[in-house]
Amino acid sequence: MHRLLGNQVMRFWDKAGRVLAYKQQTLVAARKKVVYDKHLDFLVGQTQRYSSLLAERLAAAAAGEEGSPSAGGSPAPPALPAPEARQGPRLDVAGLRRRTLSSLNQSVPPASTTTLRQLQWLRR
């Protein structure tokens, strides 16, 4: 009788632990998605800036080529600005990752961690 009751209690806490783990996994996945989306937006913006700058320089080189007689050689490709000279926000992915994980750790209520500890103690 006591054994049956103990097994039912263990199954209940096992299921509760699975629900809690699933909830935490979905929170982590949602936060990762936000960070990845921000990084993707940054990369797309950087690519657009680079391609527009390259198109402007190629158009300027083509316009300068039409106005002057050719010296027999092809002009040098336009130089792009150094990464330090480029304008626009820089994304600190490692910093975002640290902030996201620390905010996730702060957002998890302490009751859930004690529940996990209780579950681990009960399984022994």
> Which domain, by its residues, includes 6?
2-65+79-123
Note whether residue 113 is domain-resident: yes
Which residues of the chain form beta strands (DSSP E)?
A: none
pLDDT tens sequence across 56-102: 999 888 888 765 555 455 555 556 555 555 555 565 656 655 655 55
Note whether residue 71 is domain-resident: no
Cα(43)–Cα(11) distance, rounded to whole angstroms? 47
Note whether residue 19 is domain-resident: yes
> Would you state the structure tokens that stand for residue 59, as one six-digit string?
């158009």
Note whether residue 74 is domain-resident: no
Q: What is the DSSP letter of 32?
A: H
Note whether residue 87 is domain-resident: yes
Q: Taking the model in full, what pTM does it have?
A: 0.43
Q: What confidence score (pLDDT) does residue 62 get?
A: 84
Note whether residue 70 is domain-resident: no
In the chain, the number of structural domains is 1
Cα(58)–Cα(60) distance, rounded to whole angstroms? 5
CA distances, 46 to each of 35, 42, 53, 59 (Å): 17, 6, 11, 20
Note whether residue 73 is domain-resident: no
Note whether residue 14 is domain-resident: yes
